[in-house]
Chain A
Amino acid sequence: MLRAAPYLVAAILAGPVAAGALGALVPSFGFLPALGHDAFGLAVWRDLLSWPGIGGSVLLSFASGIVTAGLSLALAMLFLAVFFETRAFIWLRKAIAPLLAVPHAAAAFALAFLIAPSGFLARLLSPWATGWQRPPDLLIVQDELGLSLMAGLVMKEVPFLLLVALAPLAQIHAVERMRMARALGYGRIAAWFKTVVPALYPLLRLPIYAVIAYSSANIDVALILGPVSPPPLAVQVLRWSNDPELDYRLIAAAGAVLQFGVTAAAIALWVAAERILITLGRGWIESGNRTLAEQGLGLLGRVLFPALLLSAGLGILALGLSAFARVWRFPDPFPSRWTLEHWQSVGDTASGPLGATIWIALAATGLSLALVLAMLENERRTGRRAGRALELVFYLPLLVPQIGFLFGLVLLAELIGIAPGGGLVAAGHVIFVLPYVYLTLSESYRRLDPAWSRLARTLGHSESRVFWKVTLPMVFTPTLAAFAVGLAVSIGQYLVTRLLGAGRLDTVTTEAIALAAGGDRRLIGAWALTQAVLPVLGFALALAAPRLLWRHRRGMLGAVQ
């Protein structure tokens, strides 16, 4: 039973993705009988490639994938290099969870309102510092180069990379490596990049590919911060699939396939750059050079990390203020009249969506966690790690753009005859939740000292008793963290919920995004905060529970994270 776990998981993840991809591939060659297109051909692809602005869209998606990943990785490594084993390191650890918990769309809204010419920062500084009585006509949000889009993505991806980088630090003996290098006279930053990064990077590789895939193909952040014409490719695909002229579905399908290609190309370029850097880096590591712009980079890290926290904090504060604002005109630094109306309107409609959000998140995350635990426990018992190819399958849903296969997935569900609804939505969420649960849990599980379970076995306990009594309690803390990540991922899902639920199922995220179309920032603020509260609660519980549970066993707390 347990032996089947990895294959079961692979099937659960790869099946829908493959089916969905087929559902995009076939119409992209002109075959969609429901619309009377029943001849294969290349006409759709010609239409796609001659679409005005398609080159810009492709470049933008490609660049935001590469730049976001590069910048996020550089910042995450810099922050770790600067703060590792310092007092501020505790702060860094604590900051990750709430940053990670804020849903992408809410974070994007917050950033947009923070930096717009009529936004919170401008209001705080006007007119006394800037002289602006009216907002200046400056293109900051949704700029043509996608800089604000990339900034928004980096804000969310740095905490994610920090989270996945922190987990294996003990496994690779980062502390010892640093001490050794420092003792040999290396500067803090040089020591980190020369001794820790080479061991750490291989463990970060897949998460980074996931960052590239997400950044090059996401919709929610791109809709809020991305340029509008031409937009990033995924947004353009969404526009095509929402066009009343149904024949655009064909171009949308081809666009989705193109999006696969763009994401794959971005990852391929990254892999190539990786190879080159590794080759070049070897010489630098062995050069014996003891410093790496220590002062400059040290200062940069010490400035940028608080800046990141501050902008996230100010953004959320601005969103929070607008949620209580009745009248808030430029350049008033704060609302001039306040109201609870927006929260009342949230209260009036939120109970149904809240319930649905919670049960779907619990069901999807619970199932994902059970499957991941089964898989990891199987690995521990057999002593064999899942093959590389199989492992790649676990990450497939993160590497393949959502827009690319969801339409096909809906078609598949219809063909099989599964009625849209809560069950189907929860099943759909598993596809996206499971990889993140696996990502956050697997390293901690694998680095458990096998001596404990061996000891329990020699004392005559059965494998399953060992699992429940020894293994599970020892990985309880990271399991909870994985559970919280899973909840956050499920709560943030929009497209899956819409498409597989036939729109009948309202969650806080679908409500928030439906109202975002209405454009009232005050109401959006209230909903965005409501949407953010659930995952933040999840993370808070995940942090608090072990402390309560193990308050008489401090060793258990130190064992992980």
Chain B
Amino acid sequence: MLLTRRLTFLAFPLLLAAAVASSVAPARADSPAAEWSRVLDAAKGQTVYWNAWGGDPRINAYIAWAGEQVSERYGVELVHVKLTDTAEAVARVLAEKSAGRNEGGAIDLIWINGENFAAMKRNGLLHGPWIEALPNHNLTDPANSPDLALDFGVPVEGLEMPWARARLVFYRDEAVLPEPPRSSDALLAWAKANPGRFTYPLPPSFLGTTFLKQVLLERASSVDALYRPVAEGDFASVTAPLWDYLDALHPHLWRQARSFPANAGAMRRLMSDGEIDIAFAFSQSEATAGIESGELPETVRNYVFDAGTIGNVSFLAIPFNAAHRDGAMVLANFLLSPEAQLRKQDPEHWGSATVLDLEELTPEQAKAFREMDLGPAAIPADRLGAMLAEPHPSWTDALEEEWNRRYAVR
């Protein structure tokens, strides 16, 4: 094991050089270091337009900090284009491609994963492969991190750089609900006993669809089918247990399921207003941040389902026609540095888990990651339970359409 790892490590610079030579500058076959210094030179003075969801002031502040850092260190200016939905950026790139704008596009970097990535990749809207050229890419130990090579089951193929890990966690006020339901069955029983005190965000909002997948992963007749394209399996029979479950659950939901919160934020607000007793988020830090800002009671704590919860990785991608590719790469490389990843994991600033492999870091760096205080609401990493991988992205639309067919019509 150790030996193979060594060998991969030795072979890596060669692979890297080959990748760089073929993708970034076809005519030249410089060493990776020389190639990277060319990128650094070209990036100087560029303004990178980074399209990233802008709904959380703490994430926005983190991005602003990163902007100051790359401006100081590399002379790269960063503009954070605050999206309400990542698909807006996808639509923009699509409009540009429709209009024949094959270079000088308006977007240089997108925070992306899952369906959006799958759609962009399928339609040839992405630049790359480019991530092997980043010096910090090695720190993720790509050879031994298969989960970073797949985005919702779609091969990443160097088209996007892993940036953050996310895990679905539930949270509730421990003072109100000391023993929360830790499985979908228990949740149903609890909802029957406490009508109107639970809900989930409206699919196709990201977190709403995630809840459907979480229940499906627990109850599906064949879990294997979920990791293959939906067309290859029997959608009706695989998902039947999910719909049976929802049919039973809906009458006991908030507003008898006649209305749903629009998104994750709206659900947290219901929790804050005391309208519901259980909520969930795609990050351990959401509840902690809520406590610190006074939005949620101080006794709110995270918990997970016994059978595990869904987790995924989110990435950074460069559109095929980006005007400031070099600047985007310099920024991405900085965001992958131990320094930037450590700050990102700090719940004080954001609280999003790192994608770096701690084995690849210096002992001091690794220690800083291991000993970080994750905040009052968080569960320690060793009690976070099993991580369930995201189903193949084709299931997302199929689930959303079927949900819509069953529950959107009155």
Bound together, the chains give a CA A223 to CA B265 distance in angstroms of: 14
> Interface on chain A toward B: helix, strand, loop, or mixed SS?
loop
From A56, A118, A223, A503, B82 is in contact (CB under 8 Å) with: A503
CB distance from B266 to the nearest CB of A (A): 5
Interface residues contributed by chain A, number (CB under 8 Å) = 68
Q: Given the known A-B contacts A517-B265, A518-B55, A522-B295, are A414 and B119 also in contact in the complex, defined by CB atoms under 8 Å?
A: no
Taking the closest CB of chain A, its distance from the CB of B331, in whole angstroms, is 16
Residue A52 lies at the interface, judged by CB distance under 8 Å to chain B: yes
Q: Which residues from B are CB-within-8-Å of A325?
A: 294
Q: Which of B65-82 contact A (CB under 8 A)?
A: 79, 81-82
Residue pair B410, A144 in contact (C-beta under 8 Å): yes
Task: Tell me if B274 and A329 are in contact (CB < 8 A).
Answer: yes
With a cutoff of 8 Å between Cβ atoms, the chain B residues found around residue A513 in the complex are 84
Type the 1/0 row for A76-95, where 1 means its CB is closer than 8 Å to any CB of B.
00000000000000000000
CB-nearest residue of chain A relative to B87?
A242
Does B242 reach chain A (CB closer than 8 Å)? Answer: no
Report yes or no: A515 in contact with B119, Cβ–Cβ below 8 A: no
In Å, the complex CA distance between A517 and B94 comes to 23
> A239 to chain B: which residues have CB within 8 Å?
204
Once the chains bind, are B274 and A330 in contact (CB under 8 Å)?
A: yes
Q: CB within 8 Å of A: which of B101-133?
A: 101, 106-107, 114-116, 118-119, 123
B291 → chain A, closest Cβ, in Å? 10
Q: A243-B204, A415-B99, A502-B81 are in contact. Are A229 and B407 (CB under 8 A)?
A: yes
B151: shortest Cβ distance to chain A, in Å?
Answer: 12
What are the interface flags for A125-153 relative to B under an 8 Å C-beta threshold, 1 for contact and 0 otherwise? 00000000011011100111000000000
Residue of B254, B275, B405 with highest tally of chain A CB at under 10 A: B275
- Fill in one digit per residue for A311-343: 1 if any B CB lies within 8 Å of its CB, else 0: 000000000000001110110000001010100
Smallest Cβ distance from A74 to chain B, in angstroms? 28
Q: Which of A53, A135, A502 contacts B409 (CB 8 A)?
A: A53
Instruction: Give min CB distance, A338 to chain B, whole Å.
Output: 10
B-side contacts of A249, CB under 8 Å: 91, 94
Contact at A502–B92, with CB atoms within 8 Å?
yes
Contacts of B266 in A (CB 8 A): 519
Check if B118 sits within 8 Å of A244, measured CB to CB: yes
Q: Does B385 make an interface contact (CB < 8 A)?
A: no
User: What are the residues of chain A within 8 A of B89 when measuring CB–CB?
Assistant: 503
* Cα-based distance from A44 to B57 in the complex (angstroms): 39
Q: A235: nearest residue on chain B (CB-CB)?
A: B262
Residues of chain B within 8 A (CB-CB) of A244 are 86-87, 90, 114-116, 118-119, 396
Q: How far is B92's CA from A137's CA once the two chains are assembled, in angstroms? A: 40
| In contact, A228 and B294 (Cβ under 8 angstroms) | no
| Any A CB within 8 A of the CB of B349 | no
Beta-carbon contacts of B173-213 to A below 8 Å, as 1s and 0s?
A: 00000000000000000000001100000101000000000
Q: Are B254 and A229 neighbours in the complex by a CB distance under 8 Å?
A: no
- Contact residue among A139, A230, A520 (Cβ-Cβ distance under 8 Å from B293): A520
Residues B275 and A118 in contact, CB atoms below 8 Å apart: yes
Contact A245 B397 (CB under 8 A): yes
The answer to whether the Cβ of B218 comes within 8 Å of any Cβ in the partner chain is: no
Question: Which residues of B sit under 8 angstroms from A374, Cβ to Cβ?
Answer: none
With A118-B273, A504-B49 known to touch, is A245 a contact of B83 (CB < 8 Å)? no
Q: Which chain B positions have C-beta within 8 A of A345?
A: 57
- Which residues of chain B are within 8 angstroms of A228 by Cβ–Cβ distance? 202, 259-260, 262
Q: How far is the CB of A508 from chain B (nearest CB, A)?
A: 13
Of the listed stretches A30-38, A98-106, A390-398, A483-491, name the one at the interface; the rest are far from the partner chain.
A30-38
Least Cβ distance of A56 to chain B in Å?
6
List the B side residues contacting A514 at CB < 8 Å.
54-55, 82-84
Q: Which residues of B contact A415 (CB under 8 A)?
A: 99-100
Give Cα distance in the complex from A345 to B57, angstroms. 8
B378-398: CB near A (< 8 Å → 1, else 0) gives 000000000000000000110
Cα-based distance from A390 to B119 in the complex (angstroms): 44
Asked if A245 meets B294 with Cβ closer than 8 Å, knowing A52-B405, A520-B265, the reply is no
With contact pairs A142-B259, A244-B116, A345-B57 given, residues A414 and B408 touching in the complex (Cβ less than 8 Å): no
Q: How far is the CB of B378 from the nearest CB of chain A, in Å? A: 20
Check: B264 CB closer than 8 A to any chain A CB: yes
Q: Please tell me if A420 contacts chain B, counting CB pairs below 8 Å.
A: yes
A301 within 8 A of B: no
Top 10 A-B pairs ranked by shortest CB distance?
A519-B265, A414-B99, A137-B196, A518-B55, A244-B115, A517-B55, A118-B273, A502-B106, A34-B98, A326-B294
17 additional A-B pairs beyond A244-B118, A411-B95, beta carbons within 8 Å, are: A35-B94, A52-B405, A116-B273, A118-B274, A135-B274, A137-B196, A139-B255, A144-B410, A229-B259, A230-B410, A242-B85, A243-B87, A246-B94, A329-B297, A337-B294, A419-B106, A517-B263
* Sample of 7 A–B contacts (CB below 8 Å): A56-B409, A229-B407, A241-B91, A244-B114, A503-B106, A510-B82, A514-B82
